[in-house]
């Protein structure tokens, strides 16, 4: 099996690479690239993303043909894709960080700033928070409800169709922390930084 971590200059992806290599050992081939041919021939794709929604979308669009190739992979060919943090957020139609920016439009919805309740809650939402699993998901195999995951973000994905939400977390509001639609998987938290339970989620994705 070949899993590609998309390297499109979206910030720091070394932790994502390290965690996938740790889980994969020598059993699965982990490739880090933005090469379109290699992406197309992959069995699974991981789409990381750090920084702002706009900076990630811009970086993605800077690689000629990348958005189309990902679209072909995930939407036409329905192969498994995992978006992490802004990688998940980009599934949306539109994001409002920095300026209004069009997303990939894979799961209809928007990405807005977390309501800090007039400064009562600090942003970014940084640290370990519990996930409330609201829908059975293959990537949550062997993950107990209310497990802790590591978050760091100021914006949240708000899908139109709530049935895609697979878990939420409580902060200032009830924040969507993972979504799943057919072959599309996304986590707002960072499995690569969520210790053993995060590695379990990565293993679950690899084993899909």
Partner 1 sequence: MLKNRIIPCLDVKNGRVVKGINFVNLKDAGDPVEQAKIYSDGGADEICFLDITASNENRDTIYDVVKDTSKKCFVPLTVGGGVRSIEDINKLLNCGADKVSINTAAVQNAEVVVESSKKFGSQCIVVAIDAKKNGEVWEVFTHGGRNNTGINAIEFAKKMEESGAGELLITSMDRDGTQAGYDIDLINKISSTTNIPLIASGGVGNLDHLVDGIKLGKASAVLAASVFHYGKYSVKEAKQYLDSKGIAVRI
Of the candidates 85, 125, 153, 203, the residue annotated as catalytic is 85
| Cα 80 from Cα 43, distance rounded (Å) | 7
Q: Which two tokens stand for residue 184?
A: 């599309």
Question: Cβ(198)–Cβ(150) under 8 Å?
Answer: yes
Q: Tell whether residue 154 is a contact of partner 1 (CB under 8 A).
A: yes
The 12-41 site mask, x for binding partner 1 (CB under 8 A), equals x-xx--xx-xx-------------------
What is the spatial distance between Cα 191 and Cα 193, in angstroms, rounded to a whole number?
A: 5
Active site residue 192: yes
Which one among 40, 51, 72, 158 touches partner 1, defined by CB under 8 A?
Answer: 51
Minimum distance from CB of 187 to partner 1 (Å)? 14
Q: With CB under 8 A, what is the number of residues at the site for partner 1?
A: 38
119 binds partner 1 (CB under 8 A): yes
Q: Identify which of residues 30 and 184 has a Cβ nearer to partner 1 in the complex.
A: 30
128 to each of 71, 136, 150, 152, how far by Cα in Å?
A: 32, 22, 4, 9
- Cβ–Cβ under 8 Å, residues 112 and 158: yes
Q: Helices in the chain by DSSP H: which ranges?
A: 14-24, 36-40, 53-62, 66-71, 86-89, 195-206
Contacts with partner 1, residue ranges (CB under 8 A): 11-12, 14-15, 18-19, 21-22, 50-52, 55, 116, 119, 122-130, 148, 150-154, 170-171, 192-196, 198-199
The residues carrying an active-site annotation are 85, 190, 192
């Amino acid at each position: 099996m070949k899993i590609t971590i998309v390297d499109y200059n979206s910030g720091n992806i070394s932790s994502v690479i390290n965690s996938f290599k740790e889980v994969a050992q020598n059993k699965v081939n982990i490739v880090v690239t933005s090469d379109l041919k290699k992406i197309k021939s992959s069995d699974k794709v991981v789409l990381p993303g750090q920084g702002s929604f706009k900076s990630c979308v811009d970086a993605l669009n800077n690689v000629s043909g990348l958005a189309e190739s990902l679209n072909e992979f995930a939407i036409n060919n329905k192969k498994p894709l995992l978006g992490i943090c802004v990688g998940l957020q980009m599934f949306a139609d539109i994001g409002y960080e920095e300026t209004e920016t069009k997303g990939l439009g894979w799961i209809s919805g928007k990405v807005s700033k977390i309501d800090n309740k007039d400064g009562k809650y600090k942003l970014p939402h940084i640290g370990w928070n519990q996930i409330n699993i609201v829908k059975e998901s293959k990537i949550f195999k062997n993950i107990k409800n209310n497990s802790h995951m590591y978050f760091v973000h100021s914006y949240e994905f708000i899908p139109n169709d709530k049935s895609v939400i697979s878990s939420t977390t409580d902060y200032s509001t009830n924040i969507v922390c993972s979504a799943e639609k057919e072959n599309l998987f996304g986590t707002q938290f960072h499995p690569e930084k969520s210790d053993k339970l995060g590695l379990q989620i990565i293993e679950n994705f690899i084993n899909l």
